[in-house]
Amino acid sequence: MRDQVLAWLADRVPQSRLDHILRVEQMAVELAGHYNLDVEKAAQAGLMHDLAKYFKPLKLLEMAQAEGLEIDPVSEVNPHLLHADVSAIVAKDAFEVKDEEVLQAIANHTLGRPGMSSLSCIVFLADSLESGRGNTPELEALRQISYQNLHQAVWLTCDYSLKFLLETHCLIHPRTVATRNWFLQTRKNKQPLTQSTA
């Protein structure tokens, strides 16, 4: 199926986006292996995370509405934020992906979600931190933390994204804030997922 997905993407996204997708796939696989999670699921979710990245705003809104997804005011003004949820719809409809964990990892890769699975955490982090995003000290530190503690890496990556959105005067989606708060609270209250000792 990987070749089929790559051929589909090659017709619909520029080479620079395809390169990003392949780097996300690679980092997701590396993180999954590091935490003894399902590498094939991580590869599939990483490869399919941006299927709807270049869909027109109206198409994103129409597909989200048809699927019965809640369209909040921020997504209504900025439909691009729906591309993750719509990518999961495309994965299900065009490529017959039935694994709910994979579909959720695709759907959650941009805004995150409170309580999301470890697989979703991995794809969320891989999308934000793959090597093509830059080599600043802050990004390098986040990459290191992502291999030490998934929950901590998620809320720190949310902090990084929120800081950028504040500095550039962009709308902030409430799900990003909710994701950050949930993972920060979990970090304070419970033993989060850390590197496996197996």
pLDDT in tens, 80-132: 999 999 999 999 999 999 999 999 999 999 999 999 999 999 999 999 999 99
What spatial distance separates the first Cα and last Cα of the chain, rounded to whole Å?
A: 31
Q: Radius of gyration of the chain from Cα atoms? A: 16
Residue 22 has pLDDT above 90, yes or no: yes
Q: Residue 194: its pLDDT value, please?
A: 52
Q: Read out DSSP for 8-32?
A: HHHTTS-HHHHHHHHHHHHHHHHHH
Stretch 64-83: mean pLDDT? 96
- Single-letter residue type at 131: S
- CATH architecture of the domain formed by 2-189: Orthogonal Bundle (1.10)
Q: What are phi and psi of 94, to 5 degrees?
A: -85, -30
Residue 45 has pLDDT above 70, yes or no: yes
Q: Is residue 183 within 8 Å of residue 155, measured between CB atoms?
A: yes
In the structure, what pLDDT confidence band is assigned to residue 197 with cuts at 50, 70 and 90?
Answer: very low
Q: Residue 192: its pLDDT value, please?
A: 47
Q: Residue 189: its pLDDT value, please?
A: 77
Stretch 1-20: mean pLDDT? 97
Residues 6+ apart with CB under 8 A from 62: none
- Rounded to an integer, what distance in angstroms lies between the CA atom of residue 45 and that of residue 60? 19
Residue 196 has pLDDT above 80, yes or no: no
DSSP label of 28: H
* Residue boundaries of the structural domains of the chain: 2-189
User: 145-189 pLDDT, tens per residue?
Assistant: 999 999 999 999 999 999 999 999 999 999 999 999 999 998 877
Q: Residue 190: its pLDDT value, please?
A: 64
